[in-house]
Amino acid sequence: MTSSQRSWSTMAAAIGSAICLSACGGAASASPGATSNAGQTLALTGFQAFNSHMAVNWQSNAGTADSHQALQGLQFYDGGMIIDAGDSVTWTFRTGEPHTVTFLGPRPKPPSPFDPTNAMRFGGSSYDGSVYTSSGFGFAGQTYTLTFPKVGRYPYLCLLHGPGMHGVIVVQPAGSKYPKTQAFYNSDGASAAFADLQHAYGSLQLFPYPIDGTHLAAGISPAPSGGERSAEGTVLRFLDSHSATMPSTTIKVGSTVTWTNLSNNEVHTVSFAAVGHPIPPGPPDQPPAGGSTYDGSAYTNSGVMFPGASYTLKFTKKGTFQYVCLFHDNVGMLGTVVVQ
């Protein structure tokens, strides 16, 4: 696998299309074994010796999305787990949008979201706070499991969506009574996932420009783009209205179209291939390409559009031109400009 974000997108498309996703987040994930183990252990409170012999595998979730992948929740959905030393946690990645489960260990801060090493796995199968440990990019249906041998409080984050997307695993001494069951974490996670998808859906109503006009949104989120980065939800679509359907914008030759990133928690691009050619692979930070005009002859890219950023392109030839977000084309973030 190359370091190109584009090849990850392609891989995600292959994985994402094979797997049915749902908005139910946590509830769908628990393996029967984990639930019954946790339940059993709780039922045996007082039999501490027995408990200490039984390592429990707990289930968490990274991200959530609706079945179209348009609405995304950018959190770990488990309600905050308290486990015993020797137990393990398995995260299931739920979305075509990749996430990571990353424990920084001795590192004071995470690498940049565009660091190509973010895609890679680091560390072993257990975490005790001493070594940088990361799942690498996880896509829908993949899982990542870590065992926690040592008592402590272990915060973690997603390298692509942190610091908003973060969680914590609290590890008690082996044999301690569990304060919550897997069923609680499932239910809390599912409620939070549902709420985030509802907030993302609600944010469609915030689309501020004339409907079907030439000023589009490149993504939108419940909180405004000027505010603090939020984890609560986001829409991975180009929008020309209050709907998440793929926009088609019809203009006259010589006119311009403008896109603004109205999310506060995602980066996007507006990227046109040369007609008849694929978009060339590039580094993870997708540098700008082409100029401020497009006639179908050359790859033209906005570069990374951070929250609040705008991009305007003038169209100088007739034609029907498709464009994509290089980070989210695999989840259907596409649009068309028809130049007449």
Beta bridge partners of 220: 235, 262
Count of CA atoms in the C-beta half-sphere (13 A) of 82 = 11
Show the beta-strand stretches assigned E in the chain.
Answer: 57-65, 71-76, 81-84, 88-93, 102-103, 133-134, 143-147, 152-157, 166-172, 215-220, 234-239, 248-251, 256-262, 271-272, 293-294, 300-301, 310-315, 319-324, 334-339
Q: How far is CA 274 from CA 25, 38, 252, 253, 271, in A?
A: 39, 55, 20, 18, 10
Interface pattern 265-304 for Cu ion (x via CB under 5 A): ---x------------------------------------
Q: Does 328 bind Cu ion (CB under 5 A)?
A: yes
Decide whether 6 or 328 has the Cβ nearer to Cu ion: 328
Residue type, 151: V
15 binds Cu ion per the rule CB under 5 A: no
User: Nearest 5°: CA angle at 92, between 89 and 96?
Assistant: 155
The reply on whether position 161 binds Cu ion by CB under 5 A is no
Residue appearing with tokens 């289930």: 59
Q: Scanning residues 251 to 270, which ones bind Cu ion (CB under 5 A)?
A: 268
Residues 76-115 that bind Cu ion (CB under 5 A): none
237 touching Cu ion, by CB under 5 A? no
Polymer length of the chain: 340
**What minimum distance in Å lies between the beta carbon of 61 and Cu ion?**
22
Comparing CB distances to Cu ion, the nearer of 28 and 220 is 220
Residue 325 interacting with Cu ion (CB under 5 A)? yes
For residue 112, the minimal CB distance to Cu ion (Å) is 17
- Closest separation between CB of residue 132 and Cu ion, Å? 28
* Total residues interacting with Cu ion, rule: CB under 5 A: 5
Q: Which residues bind to Cu ion, rule: CB under 5 A?
A: 268, 325, 327-328, 333
